[in-house]
Chain A
Amino acid sequence: MAISRRNFLKCAAFTAGGAVLADNPFVKATAAAAMKKEVKHVPSYCEMCFWRCGLIARVEDGRVVKLDGNPLHPQSRGRLCAKGNAGMGLLYDKDRLKTPLIRTGERGDGKYRKASWNEAYAYIAEKLNGVKKKYGPESVALFSHGSGGQYMGNFLEAFGSPNHSHPSYAQCVGAREVAFTLTYGQGPASTAERVDMANSRVIALFGSHLGENMHNSHNQDFVDGLGNGAKLIVVDPRYSTAAGKASIWLPIKPGTDLALILGWINIVIQEKWYDRDYLEKYATGFEQLKEAVKEYTPEWAARETDLPKGDIVEAIRELGRYKPNVVVHPGRHYSWYGDDTQRGRGLAILNALLGTWGRKGGLWLPPKVNLVKMKQTLKYPKPRRESLAFGDYPEAAGGITTEVRRATIDGSPYPIKAWFVIGTNLMKTLPAPEKTKEAVKNLDLLVNIDLMPTDMVMMSDVILPTTSYLERHDALAIVTQKNAGIAIRQPVVNPWKNVKPAWLIAKELCDKMGLGKYVAYNTLEEQMRQQAKLWKIDYNELVKTGYIPVADSYHPYITEKNQPEFATDSKKIELYSSTLDNDNMDPVPKFTRHKEPPAGTFRLIYGRSPVHTFSRTMNNKWLWQLKNENEVWLSATVARRLGIDNGEKVFLVNEKGVRSNVVKAKVTERIREDCVYVIHGFGSTSKRMTMTYGRGIDDTQMMSHYATDPISGTNGLRVNFVKIVKES
């Protein structure tokens, strides 16, 4: 413990038997506090993660001193999570990008020179014009995550390229959206998953580790549900925080979730737990489903999943008993094994059989809103070539990052020569990161727009520093909880001197490229005011309260008057999917076994810490102090066999020989013997991220393999096997 001068004086004072008041900084601080501070409370919404909770910033003399949840906003309800509470750690991060940078050395060697915005734009414009001339405008691609993506997306379209992709699709939630759209004609989430956990009698989770995966109101609903007496069934190879609350924990063999789901579907049908009236009214394909799943007996499911048959049967009966006020959570991160659309179909079908869609405690119906977003006044040019970001996948419903990367490497169907990346650290997001590096080598231009010097940012030719969510406006947000509402993001403090919000960067780039006519406003706020007017909302009121509900939008449950609509071909819930049949895919999910870890290796699974969002928050000192390194979770039985003690230093080696950083082993009873687990997002390779550089295992680095879902084109990321090695 360091002894400060004050400490020393204190000790001296103590021995002398008196207090040295004159030197007491607390007295000074109090005196300073007495001087009138300018205190403001400014509402906005959070983007420490993408739940986007309403917040109220307490600002003293132009500095954010506290962030609280906005009680009006239904996704915070007056509360913020650990990340939301630590927003100033991002705002005031000393490692933030402060000025535009242009590369001077080789790509990746970290040598940059400071540049003016004008210089940076000029550099970008010249390169873009070159790419356009030689390859066509479609050879420019955008990767985006978060609020800034929309403005850069507009820029991309104005420029004439359709190649916009998002890791949130292929590396996350894409397969779920496809699966539920095939079944119900829409996904199970609007901005937030429409899971009515607060009112559920029984909640079943497949790997959704609520508590560790911190989405604010979703967790509030979860706990409220448990508090209201809901029974909880958790399917997870790891004894997650949620599993710790479960009445039935099913420690499933990784990769066999679909076997359990199909087994459950079969039991529901055989034991007649399904909601017959509901199915008659709303669903089609029951007979075909019944026929297709009859081979999936409980005995079979028990064998495949390595779960006790009795537990499997008891769990589904529990759901059946309390239907329709139950829910099998649709989940969020879907990129597991490459047959994820079919797993999602299984979950969608199970919910349909139990009649949960539109039922209390099940999946609520989206609020009814008639809010048109302002149209682009001037039509964007039509690209000559189709987007290549959807690959050849019959039901791809979002830009697939790994398709754009592939095209960048092999040039087919046409070359991609420039990347814009905003708000996503692709090196920690896309599997097989060596391929990302390979693709980057082929680029004529790589631009990153970000706050922090992440791994991906440090590969750029040009780095454009942007504002945090606390320093900017963003287009008015439509919040769709059971009630709809409008939320505002506005600067709570002035932005850092030389950084710009994404909307301004996109606008200025358009101007520079002679595309200024596509941007119809001078400031985004101008457009926000127009939008508010169009929606008949008092903008000034919104500025003050942060959130305004949309009247009469609450229609969560099916009633005689409130009937659900299904935008499928049959206008019904499709238990049997004719679309998939046409695609030559299984119209009812079938189970195929996945490769199992060869002897001496473990399947690498990964998850979240409640105090971190992907790899975005690891350098935030207030979150860093809560979790600054991950550890490898390893079964105690295996650890004994390998002679690894709890806390001992270990590293992982994957099948391609890729070696991870060294971390501590967490030897625990809380995980099966056939897998190891790490929290995602650690192991930054960027030296400029001074808090987090080199700390922890980067799970993405260990994902040399990935599977591809033939229906949605999304990735399967849980297909890598690793050895665990002691450091010494």
Chain B
Amino acid sequence: MKRYAMVIDQSRCIGCMACISACVQENKVPFENFRTRVLEITKGKFPKLRTELRAELCNHCDNPPCVDACPTGASYKRDDGIVLIDRNKCVGCKACIAACPYDARYINEEYGYADKCTFCEHRLKKGLEPACVATCIGKSRVFGDLNDKGSEVSRMLAENESRVMDKAAGTRPRVHYINRYPTKR
């Protein structure tokens, strides 16, 4: 069994938004909705500044509050860890949207179901990486199987200090952040 995860090396992100653009096209994400975003957070006072670029997406949590909140069983977690929505069961009630601490979901207005990042599971089936990973200009996003100790994601986590978003929420995200090459000053 695979244990899918994404590791984002923030030191390699240049905020170019290629990931968002690729995701929108690959997944036919409706206009002005997004499954991923890139935040730019600057701290400090001129000229002593520091910027964090943080790509965010569905964390495919191991303890997913969206799944717990879903009244119809439309939101579910697969054995490989991917959190998905069964569109036939989804009634668009938005309970999952309220439950998700990461603002990862939206309602597809045309069809009325909740939607979000799927780790491009339709591409994984064909042996392709998620679209955002495939196009990432800085190779900041890396995707793979944590059950494979030799995979790049496993190595990245083994060799670096990593974080997840909002750890205290107890959601146990599958999206991990590292900063392999922290800048000085």
Give residues in A with beta carbon < 8 Å to B. Answer: 1-2, 4, 6-7, 9-11, 13-14, 19, 21, 24-27, 65-69, 78-86, 88, 210-212, 214, 216, 219-220, 222-224, 226-227, 229, 232, 239, 241-249, 251, 610-611, 621-623, 625-626, 635-637, 668-672
**Do residues B18 and A80 form an inter-chain contact, with CB atoms below 8 A?**
yes
**Do residues B111 and A26 form an inter-chain contact, with CB atoms below 8 A?**
yes
Given B25, B46, B135, B183, which contacts A670 in the complex, CB threshold below 8 Å? B46
**Do residues B20 and A2 form an inter-chain contact, with CB atoms below 8 A?**
no
Identify which of B86-94, B144-152, B154-162, B166-174 touches chain A.
B86-94
Q: Name the residue among A1, A80, A229, A251 with the largest chain B CB count within 10 angstroms.
A: A80
Q: How far is the CB of A448 from chain B (nearest CB, A)?
A: 28
Measured in the bound complex, the distance between the Cα atoms of B32 and A632 in whole Å is 23
Measured in the bound complex, the distance between the Cα atoms of B25 and A67 in whole Å is 8
**Do residues A27 and B16 form an inter-chain contact, with CB atoms below 8 A?**
no
Q: Name the residue among A26, A69, A83 with the largest chain B CB count within 10 angstroms.
A: A26
**Do residues B88 and A27 form an inter-chain contact, with CB atoms below 8 A?**
yes
Which residues on the B side are within 8 Å of A212 (C-beta)? 15
Which residues on the A side are within 8 Å of B111 (C-beta)? 6, 25-26
**Do residues A14 and B91 form an inter-chain contact, with CB atoms below 8 A?**
yes
**Do residues A85 and B25 form an inter-chain contact, with CB atoms below 8 A?**
yes
Given B24, B134, B137, which contacts A219 in the complex, CB threshold below 8 Å? B137
Given A24, A69, A220, A247, which contacts B185 in the complex, CB threshold below 8 Å? A247
Listed by A's residue number, 28 A-B pairs whose Cβ atoms lie within 8 Å are A6-B111, A6-B112, A9-B112, A11-B92, A19-B89, A19-B91, A25-B111, A65-B25, A80-B135, A82-B17, A82-B18, A84-B18, A85-B24, A86-B21, A86-B25, A210-B14, A219-B14, A227-B11, A241-B53, A242-B14, A244-B42, A244-B51, A248-B185, A626-B20, A637-B46, A669-B42, A670-B42, A672-B46
Since A229-B181, A243-B49 are in contact, a sample of 15 more A-B pairs with Cβ atoms closer than 8 Å, ordered by chain A residue number, is A9-B112, A10-B92, A10-B113, A19-B89, A26-B87, A27-B88, A82-B22, A83-B21, A220-B137, A226-B11, A226-B181, A239-B51, A241-B14, A244-B53, A622-B21
Q: How far is the CB of B90 from chain A (nearest CB, A)?
A: 8
Q: How far is the CB of A616 from chain B (nearest CB, A)?
A: 16
**Do residues A246 and B135 form an inter-chain contact, with CB atoms below 8 A?**
no
Q: Which residue of A lies closest to B52 (CB)?
A: A244
**Do residues B185 and A249 form an inter-chain contact, with CB atoms below 8 A?**
yes
**Do residues A69 and B135 form an inter-chain contact, with CB atoms below 8 A?**
yes
Interface positions of B from 111 to 136, Cβ below 8 Å from A: 111-113, 131, 134-136
Q: Which residue of B lies closest to A216 (CB)?
A: B137
Which residues on the A side are within 8 Å of B22 (C-beta)? 80, 82, 85
Q: Name the residue among B22, B31, B40, B185 with the largest chain A CB count within 10 angstroms.
A: B22
Interface size on B, residues (CB 8 A): 53
Known: A68-B135, A219-B14, A669-B42. A247 touches B110 (CB 8 A): no
**Do residues A85 and B18 form an inter-chain contact, with CB atoms below 8 A?**
yes
Which residues on the B side are within 8 Å of A10 (C-beta)? 90-93, 112-113
Q: Is B80 an interface residue (CB 8 A)?
A: no
Q: Which residue of B lies closest to A64 (CB)?
A: B25
Q: How far is the CB of B1 from chain A (nearest CB, A)?
A: 27
**Do residues B16 and A610 form an inter-chain contact, with CB atoms below 8 A?**
yes
Measured in the bound complex, the distance between the Cα atoms of B140 and A24 in whole Å is 38
**Do residues A81 and B137 form an inter-chain contact, with CB atoms below 8 A?**
yes
Interface positions of B from 74 to 106, Cβ below 8 Å from A: 87-93
**Do residues A669 and B45 form an inter-chain contact, with CB atoms below 8 A?**
yes
Which residues on the B side are within 8 Å of A65 (C-beta)? 25
**Do residues B109 and A7 form an inter-chain contact, with CB atoms below 8 A?**
yes
**Do residues A26 and B113 form an inter-chain contact, with CB atoms below 8 A?**
yes
Q: Is B26 an interface residue (CB 8 A)?
A: yes
Q: Is B12 an interface residue (CB 8 A)?
A: yes
Q: Which residue of A lies closest to B111 (CB)?
A: A25
**Do residues A625 and B32 form an inter-chain contact, with CB atoms below 8 A?**
yes
Given A220, A251, A636, which contacts B138 in the complex, CB threshold below 8 Å? A220
Measured in the bound complex, the distance between the Cα atoms of B46 and A635 in whole Å is 9
Which residues on the B side are within 8 Å of A83 (C-beta)? 21
**Do residues A1 and B25 form an inter-chain contact, with CB atoms below 8 A?**
no
Q: How far is the CB of A466 from chain B (nearest CB, A)?
A: 24
Q: How far is the CB of A220 from chain B (nearest CB, A)?
A: 6
Known: A82-B20, A219-B16, A223-B14. A6 touches B110 (CB 8 A): yes
Measured in the bound complex, the distance between the Cα atoms of B175 and A92 in whole Å is 35
Q: Which residue of A lies closest to B45 (CB)?
A: A669
Q: Is B2 an interface residue (CB 8 A)?
A: no
Which residues on the A side are within 8 Å of B113 (C-beta)? 10, 26
**Do residues A7 and B18 form an inter-chain contact, with CB atoms below 8 A?**
no
Measured in the bound complex, the distance between the Cα atoms of B94 and A7 in whole Å is 11
**Do residues A626 and B137 form an inter-chain contact, with CB atoms below 8 A?**
no
**Do residues B16 and A670 form an inter-chain contact, with CB atoms below 8 A?**
no
Which residues on the A side are within 8 Å of B131 (C-beta)? 66
Interface positions of B from 1 to 46, Cβ below 8 Å from A: 11-12, 14-18, 20-22, 24-26, 31-32, 40, 42, 44-46
**Do residues A626 and B18 form an inter-chain contact, with CB atoms below 8 A?**
no
Q: How far is the CB of B16 from chain A (nearest CB, A)?
A: 4
Which residues on the A side are within 8 Å of B45 (C-beta)? 669
Q: Name the residue among A65, A79, A222 with the largest chain B CB count within 10 angstroms.
A: A79
Q: Name the residue among A21, A222, A670 with the largest chain B CB count within 10 angstroms.
A: A670
**Do residues B16 and A66 form an inter-chain contact, with CB atoms below 8 A?**
no
Q: How far is the CB of B13 from chain A (nearest CB, A)?
A: 8
Q: Which residue of A lies closest to B37 (CB)?
A: A626
**Do residues B18 and A227 form an inter-chain contact, with CB atoms below 8 A?**
no
Known: A68-B134, A670-B42. A81 touches B110 (CB 8 A): no
Measured in the bound complex, the distance between the Cα atoms of B113 and A232 in whole Å is 46
Measured in the bound complex, the distance between the Cα atoms of B15 and A668 in whole Å is 18
Q: Is B139 an interface residue (CB 8 A)?
A: yes
Q: How far is the CB of A174 from chain B (nearest CB, A)?
A: 27
**Do residues A668 and B183 form an inter-chain contact, with CB atoms below 8 A?**
no
Which residues on the A side are within 8 Å of B87 (C-beta)? 24, 26
Which residues on the A side are within 8 Å of B91 (C-beta)? 10-11, 13-14, 19
**Do residues A4 and B44 form an inter-chain contact, with CB atoms below 8 A?**
no
Which residues on the B side are within 8 Å of A82 (C-beta)? 16-18, 20-22
Measured in the bound complex, the distance between the Cα atoms of B156 and A187 in whole Å is 40
